[in-house]
Structure 1
């Protein structure tokens, strides 16, 4: 299992990214739930999961 932290470049929300190399995943894309920005497009080689750990910047969301 690989763990890493990812930050949305649009709103600043932070995520914990987990990748299980022992499990096959599904091909897809992950978008920030706060602003809709594309975070990652991934293949089906490994299972990938995201968890929100840092709330997005309210200031950035209000400007939209």
Structure 2
């Protein structure tokens, strides 16, 4: 068994990844449940599971104030 911590490159969510060599897995993909970023594609040789451990704080889409170059 192998344990690892994985961070989503897109949103920063944290995961615990477990891989079992003694169990066959399923061919497929795992996407981040927060932003849908592809974290890993599986070939099915080993059982791999992910658990969300750190959910990122999502900032509003328009959190940056627009620059206003008008002078008063």
Normalized against structure 1, the TM-score is what? 0.90
Point out the structure with the larger helix share: 1
Point out the structure with the larger strand share: 1
Aligned residues: 62
Q: How does 1:36-47 map to 2 (within 5 A)?
A: 36-47=36-47
Normalized against structure 2, the TM-score is what? 0.80
Which ranges of structure 2 fall in alignment gaps of 5 or more residues? 63-72
| SS of residue matched to 2:11 | coil
Measured on the aligned residues, the alpha-carbon RMSD in Å equals 1.4
Which ranges of structure 1 fall in alignment gaps of 5 or more residues? none
Whose relative contact order is higher, 1 or 2, with alpha carbons under 8 Å and at least 6 apart?
Answer: 1
